[in-house]
Amino acid sequence: MCRKPTIGVLAILIGIPLWLQWFTLPVLAKTKISPGAEIQADDKTVHGIVASFQKAEEFLDARNLDALMGLYSKDYNYNGLKKDDLKKIWESLFAQHHRIATSHLFTKIVVADGKHPTAEITCTGTLWATSGPTGKRMNIDSWFEEVHHMVYEDGAWRISGHVGEPARTPQFGVAPHPLF
């Protein structure tokens, strides 16, 4: 007889924190450097690059479009998409989705120093969100070993596009990844 109340109390003590975590869970966002990643940059530069992606996650969570757009270079260009085009895409995503989250796993960071330092970051990642109309979690974008191109501009690392030219004729199932 004493067991039932003990099990019930235990279930409540475990269940309430799990329930609170589930319903108050912040956007699951992560930026990580893979163990064994090839790094050709000093620690301060790597920290600055990672910080830019962490800020993107914070701005997505806060739904702060202006701050998010500040993470893109003024000269952003990817497959002909410019910074203003990205802003329209993000506006649409914010209007149709909530709990937008990213994950980035960096496997290589190569920095070219100079008057205008640049970086190439090899990254595998995802962009997730909850659909407003359906309430279902969905993958908006994913990429495998995409090379983000960044520039050091106005005192911070900013996304300026992706390295390499797009395929002239996209293969089946291949899509551009302009957002990250």
Residue 50 banded pLDDT, cuts 50, 70, 90: very high
What is the rounded CA–CA span in Å between residue 44 and residue 109?
13
Q: Domain residues of the chain, as ranges?
A: 28-162
Residue 156 banded pLDDT, cuts 50, 70, 90: very high
The pLDDT mean for the chain works out to 83
User: In CATH, what is the architecture of 28-162?
Assistant: Roll (3.10)
Is there a contact between 81 and 72 (Cβ–Cβ < 8 Å)?
Answer: no
Q: Is the pLDDT of residue 25 over 90?
A: no
| Three-class SS state of 148 | strand
Pick from 65, 53, 57, 69: which is nearest to 28 by CA?
57
Residue 7 confidence (pLDDT): 54
Q: Count, in order, helices (H) and strands (E) of the chain.
A: 4, 7
Bridge partners of 152? 157
Q: Is the pLDDT of residue 85 over 70?
A: yes
Residue for token digits 């996650």? 57
pTM comes to 0.77
Q: What is the pLDDT of residues 5-23, one digit of tens each?
A: 565 544 454 544 433 333 4
CB-based burial of residue 174 (10 Å sphere; 0-12 exposed, 13-18 middle, 19+ buried)? exposed
